[in-house]
Amino acid sequence: MRLDTLFSLVSWLVPHFWNQELRTIQVSQTEVLKVTDHEKLLLKRQGVNFLDITSFPALFKSEEGLEVPEYLYPTELVNGHKVTEIVQKCDTNAMYDDLAFFTSFYTRYYKSLSGFESATWLSEKLRNVTILLGDRVAQFHVDHHDWKQFSIIVQIKGTETPENVIVFGSHQDSMNLLFPSTLPAPGADDNGSGTVTNIEALRIYAQYLNETQDWPRNTVEFHFYSAEEGGLLGSLDIFTHYAQENRTVVAMLQQDMTGYVQNSKREHVGVITDFTSSILTDFIKRVIDKYLDIPFIETKCGYACSDHSSASKNGYPAALVIESEFSKTNKYIHTTMDTLDRLNFEHMAEHVKLIIGTTVELGNWRFQKKR
């Protein structure tokens, strides 16, 4: 018997005989399956996309019911001087160093010890970049019941309307699709790139706030989700909890894969138009037009491909921006070959500008629902 066949057999037997706990996954608008963790992995390898809703049975029932409110977003972007001042400080060498460290963990698989250690490193890194804000910044670990890797929330509370929250999200975990528990998963692009994009935007925004004391009237949060690769588990925990507490998220911008450029002659970012809020996405397109040096192309994932879907599912307006149109994204993800030598840090810096443009324009915006 070949070694890999033996390995497959053992990894099939173990969950069936020692750990019969079944997960509930939603594979389409109408179909829900009960599967073991191993069957979940097999489905993922076959390219079946799903949400793991084991802990959120109500979410499935409310599939049609939950309406996402439509807020008015700025049509004129008037804060160019601030955005230019902040993005000047973007440092691609710092981003490279962060990503080199982040990808040096053997894997950031959410159930692994190294996935817990990478979260611990990330948390310390975030504390270092925001320490100058003192008690005007808060940092929370969100512990999840079934796995070790925690999610992290960094919060800058709004001065006038702190109940209105703007969220910048990215997932911190990585996964080797072949054997998640045993093979390495550097996850440089998926989603080390989105993680360092959020870190760098937070670093230069914190520096700006400290220098100018130009605090936003609305709350700004940076989220680093655990277990996205397990079926959006970390972000579902967070947004379900936010919804239960009746919190108001007025905009959520997820960045998942920001570093790969297939054709540098046609460099662009990809704006996702399915499973997202179209009114928020229209605003994001205006930010790109005004503040990025490259254009956008509208594109689709075709399924609930990242954590923005957890926000949408819980009734919050969400957008997703990725490195390019979907068909031209990095093909090495979920393998040992998702490494940083394949990435373009100037491109990642464009994604940093997107966060800065969005936070400066929305930070002081007076949110009103569209009638």
Residue type, 56: F
Applying CB under 6 A, the site for ligand BES has a residue count of 15
When the beta carbons of 190 and 200 are compared against Zn ion, the nearer one is 190
Please tell me the distance from the alpha carbon of residue 312 to that of residue 165, in angstroms, as a whole number: 14
Please tell me the distance from the alpha carbon of residue 197 to that of residue 170, in angstroms, as a whole number: 9
C-alpha angle with apex 271: 169 to 264, nearest 5 degrees?
105
Stretch of 34-42, 84-92, 198-206, 225-233 contacting ligand BES, by CB under 6 A: 225-233
Please, is 91 exposed, middle or buried when counting C-beta atoms within 10 Å of its C-beta (0-12, 13-18, 19+)? Answer: middle
- Binding of ligand BES at residue 350 (CB under 6 A)? no
Residue with tokens 């796995």: 147
| Residue closest to 167 by CA, chosen among 277, 13, 298 | 277
When the beta carbons of 165 and 301 are compared against Zn ion, the nearer one is 301
When the beta carbons of 165 and 269 are compared against ligand BES, the nearer one is 269
- Binding of ligand BES at residue 257 (CB under 6 A)? yes
When the beta carbons of 98 and 229 are compared against ligand BES, the nearer one is 229
- Binding of ligand BES at residue 232 (CB under 6 A)? yes
- Binding of ligand BES at residue 196 (CB under 6 A)? no
Residue 70: C-alpha distances to residues 14, 158, 370 (Å): 47, 21, 6
- Binding of ligand BES at residue 338 (CB under 6 A)? no
Identify residues 26-55 at the interface with ligand BES (CB under 6 A): 49
SS3 per-residue string spanning 285-304: HHHHHHHCCCCEEEECCCCC
Say which residues have a Cβ less than 8 Å from residue 234's Cβ, sequence separation at least 6: 110, 142, 144, 149, 151, 171, 173, 225, 226, 227, 228, 307
Identify residues 274-293 at the interface with ligand BES (CB under 6 A): none
When the beta carbons of 53 and 362 are compared against ligand BES, the nearer one is 53
When the beta carbons of 249 and 311 are compared against Zn ion, the nearer one is 311
Binding site for Zn ion (CB under 5 A): 190
Residue 141: C-alpha distances to residues 129, 160, 183, 231 (Å): 16, 25, 27, 20
Cβ-closest residue to ligand BES?
329
Selected from 196, 253, 305, 321, the binder of ligand BES by CB under 6 A is 305
In whole angstroms, how close is the CB of 207 to ligand BES at the nearest point?
29
Stretch of 111-119, 196-204, 223-231, 239-247 contacting ligand BES, by CB under 6 A: 223-231
- Binding of ligand BES at residue 221 (CB under 6 A)? no
What does the block give as tokens for 2?
């070949």
When the beta carbons of 164 and 314 are compared against ligand BES, the nearer one is 314
Please tell me the distance from the alpha carbon of residue 37 to that of residue 22, in angstroms, as a whole number: 7
Say which residues have a Cβ less than 8 Å from residue 280's Cβ, sequence separation at least 6: 71, 73, 251, 317, 318, 319
- Binding of ligand BES at residue 228 (CB under 6 A)? yes
Binding residues for ligand BES (CB under 6 A): 49, 190-191, 228-229, 231-232, 256-257, 304-306, 322, 326, 329
